[in-house]
Structure 1
Amino acid sequence: MFLNQIIRTIRTKEKIPKTKTYKNTMSKSLYEHFEKGNEKSIKVAHVGIIAQNLNIPTQDLLHYSKASFKNEEEIYYDKVVEMVNQFVQTNKKEKKESLKKEINEHFKVSVKTRFDSCCMFSLYIFLKSISSNINLEISPPDQTDLIDIKKIIKSKTFYTSFEYKILSNLAIYFSFNDLKEIIEILYPLESNMPLGLIEASYISIENLLLTELRQEDLTNCFALMEILDKNLELYPSYQHRLIYLQFKELLEYLINLEPKHLFQCWNYIEIMSIADPNVNLKQQKEALYKIIEHRTGKEPNIGGFLNVTKNNGSSLENTANEIIDIKGV
């Protein structure tokens, strides 16, 4: 919701007069133009005063009106990501074909504009990842893209959620060693980071862990687990703590093949499914089996293991073929 809309909503619900709402900020005519959406901008200093006049915290007012504080690139980015979500979710053939064409056009735009900003480069990597799965003529992110993003990140000293979103998608195609230079720049996180950046930072490391679990040497997995643990110390998260514990038990199992670790890994997945009803336990089981089979050459042969009778879920569902930004990072 835009700032003028949320101000009008709060004012009318709380039956606060217009005169009180814009008191000590602007003229009546300017405020009325603003509330109707005819005037798009107001002074930053006035936002806090209006929040006080409405008797709500400034931070709450800003939270509910986030749409007002996005630039054109961010609005475009969100629009395209939403379109990709629709493409993934729809089962209608005509709708899927129509969205596929639109995604292809947006990808062409992103190719031309990718160096305009980190926002547009992030969109480019995201769409290239998606497009390579639906168009055989388009290749996934490659070494040229990796070189480009390294140059971009090295040229910056202040990092945003978009750098972490780029990393989260590159992590699907490149190893820890390929991305180590970027990881060392972006981690550990500093204090007082925005929520969107924190979430993207978690997903990047978790995607990298899924990639490294398919490598012969698991050494890098432990380095990534250490980064994930430090993230959790600084920014505690119940969801990502459960994911951390899943990976911890899975690593223990892959190293010594003791069934107790596999059972414990699954226990954490089931706990996760209770917290997140969108997670599919059947898909979790299949993803877990694939990881184990890839590492050991065979599925776990344990009687009665993982009898799935319902659809709930967790993190291992996001195998290395999925684009994490679809989830809204």
Structure 2
Amino acid sequence: MSRFTSFFRPALAAGLLAALALPACQTRPAEGESASTGGAEGEAAAARPAPVDTIQLQRLAMRRDSLKADSIAKKNGQLPGAILPGHRIVAFYGNIRSKGMGILGREPKEQMFRKFAGVLKEWQAADPSIPVQPALHNVTITAQGTPGKDGKWRLMNSKATIEEVISWAREHKCILFLDVQPGHSTLQVEVPKLEQYLKQPDIHLGIDPEFSLSTMPGIRPNQRIGTLDAKDINWTINYLARIVSENKLPPKVLTVHRFTRKMVTNYKSIKLDPRVQVVMHMDGHGDPTLKKDSYKDYIVAEPVQYTGFKLFYEYDARPKPHHIMTPSEVIALKPSPLYVQYQ
């Protein structure tokens, strides 16, 4: 992995702090009161500065960092340490505690990594012009078939499981995506649970509208396809951007799964930030012709920033003569996906 270069400075301008700490304006005394409180207590109260508005302070700091990031990105094309568009990310997806969620947990660890090494070689050979960045994509907050004690229909991996998949990724020089299926909870509640991990430079985020059902009361995951709005995606971008600024990190990559139009609403209102690289990821399976049409209709037709494409070991090859698309077939798509995921 490349060396990461920091580009933010933690200190705020002295003038900003001073402006937020000015003494409060005096108010007119109420009827029947003296204009002066008198005594040492009154003098101390008059001299006491107003409390610092820390929330406003954070907002101003974020605005400053955003402007600085914009300036650097416009000059250099992207921020230091950015993975895209200079690499193509190739990921194995699943959950290391589940055989049914994807290739990541389906096979024994060493067998799975041998297969992954072969896949990476295929991709690099298919397009030598762009280096391949290996990745693991672990579903870390998973939609459930039962509501749980709080009725939110989702469950987070244990700390031990998360730390284990982190060790797998680093052992094999992969970046890691932690994926969130919020169920009947929200991204605003679930994503902050992962902040201690997202503060690390090699850990990124995926969000899955299919399993976002907070606007569909009474619907069990897998009964209907969920949805996320631009405001939810913007909240996530801003959240990651803050983590990047506060921890002097390279840009985060955010993947958003999609295979229907209603899964993401108001895409034109998504507001990009150089500190977060957004991948709209075509997540459908089946006949290659159908997959290409879905990519064209739901990803290319509603562009955001970068594009992704998923390949399914179990579903794409059934029924015959269907097949799992080759790297060359995926690369030939326009635009050529820079994030490719195997499930």
TM-score (structure 2 length as normaliser): 0.30
Tell me which of the two structures has the higher relative contact order, counting C-alpha pairs closer than 8 angstroms and 6 or more residues apart. Answer: 2
Which structure features the higher share of helix residues? 1
TM-score computed with the length of structure 1 as normaliser: 0.31
Q: For the pair shown, which has the larger CA radius of gyration, 1 or 2?
A: 2
